[in-house]
Amino acid sequence: MPSTLLAKPNINNLLSSTAMALCSAFCPRISTNFRPKPFSSFPSKPLLSLSFKVFSSQATDASSQDKFSGRVGFLGLGIMGSPMAQNLIKAGCDVIVWNRTKSKCDPLISLGAKYSSSPEEVAANCDVTFAMLADPESAIDVACGKNGAVSGIGPGKGYVDVSTVDVATSKLINEHIKARGALFLEAPVSGSKKPAEDGQLIFLTAGDRSLYELVSPLLDILGKSRFYLGEVGNGAAMKLVVNMIMGSMMASFSEGILLSKKVGLDPSVLVKVVSQGAISAPMYSLKGPSMVKSQYPTAFPLKHQQKDLRLALGLAESVSQSTPIAAAANELYKVAKSYGLSDEDFSAVIEALKAKSQDTA
């Protein structure tokens, strides 16, 4: 990816604004009740009820030992949904798939999946339906829109939303599913394309405990660990906090790579040093070598990282929590998007820093 790009915007102007548009604006039906009062000291009671228990995919609890025998629906076959659905099919599950672009269903159909023409049909014909959508708008539309899953779901069925959305969106979908007499579990995942392919995702679940127990065998096919966090909203909040940290880490890592090169050090050696020290993280050793070469093979699209930062900042605003580092990182990802890097891996945020450095040289 060349560092010099055409039609560059004014970077300093773009970076100077930190005003955030809250995610609740996209859909007037979304409840704004998730707004605890500001606090001046640590509250005696947590703002989010986060009693949780962690299970590994080798857990010995009864639910993980029982094979799921029902029919599974899967809505959304993008960079994450497709490998997840493939793993269910390869494990012998009876799977029905749907995607807006039908051609994305074809590889799964060739593996043995069935196809339905709408989320409504999938939910009507499946015991449990998973959804992996790109953003809150898509999650709401697929669940609650015309021919959405809500129209086909009913008592005795379950809906598991593994998308990364804000708390309000998750609660809204939960309300619609519950109104139909069905069960709801939010289960956003920590992990990108490769963990999805390898069945090594981490599930951050909340909602109906009985549905969590029922689908635990499926979660164990798809992931290496799973957390049950209590009431709906806690899973979404945990995922946004995790991705807020990740986005900030990548922005700082990018600064380090560029600074090391600017002072005459070998950035490849920096990557090795960081990967062996106390601040080591798999992300650095995985992404660093490609970043040094200005290559950004997409595992987690930059546009999704910026979306998650935006939602995380909205969450922080709702509880009056200051997040200046995340806010600065968010502005940097917005600049990267303005360079046409939305579909590149989120590590391409380094290109925004390269451009800013050139502008100030």
Catalytic machinery residues: 239
C-beta separation of 344 from 301 below 8 A: yes
DSSP E strand boundaries for the chain: 53-56, 71-75, 94-98, 114-115, 128-131, 158-161, 183-186, 189-190, 201-207, 223-228
Please tell me whether residue 228 adopts helix, strand or coil conformation. strand
The pair of three-digit structure tokens given for residue 286, joined into one six-digit string: 């995985």
How far is residue 112's CA from residue 115's CA, in Å, rounded to a whole number? 10
Nearest 5°: the CA angle 14, 135, 17 is: 15
Say what angle helices 324-338 and 302-318 make with each other, to 10 degrees.
Answer: 150
Residue 153: strand, helix, or coil: coil
Structure tokens at 140: 């709401």
Using the 8-state DSSP alphabet, how is residue 39 labeled?
-
Angstrom CA distances, 359 to 257, 295, 329, stand at 18, 22, 19
- The tokens of 201 are what? 């995702």
Contact 206, 31 (CB under 8 A): no
The number of beta carbons lying within 10 Å of the beta carbon of residue 9 is 11
Structure tokens at 213: 């127990």
* 333/326 Cα distance (integer angstroms): 10
List, in order, residues 6 or more apart from 169 with CB less than 8 Å away: 23, 27, 30, 136, 139, 140, 236
**Euclidean distance between CA atoms 305 and 341, whole angstroms:** 12
Give the single-character DSSP code of 40.
S
Residue 353 CB burial class (10 angstroms; 0-12, 13-18, ≥19)? buried
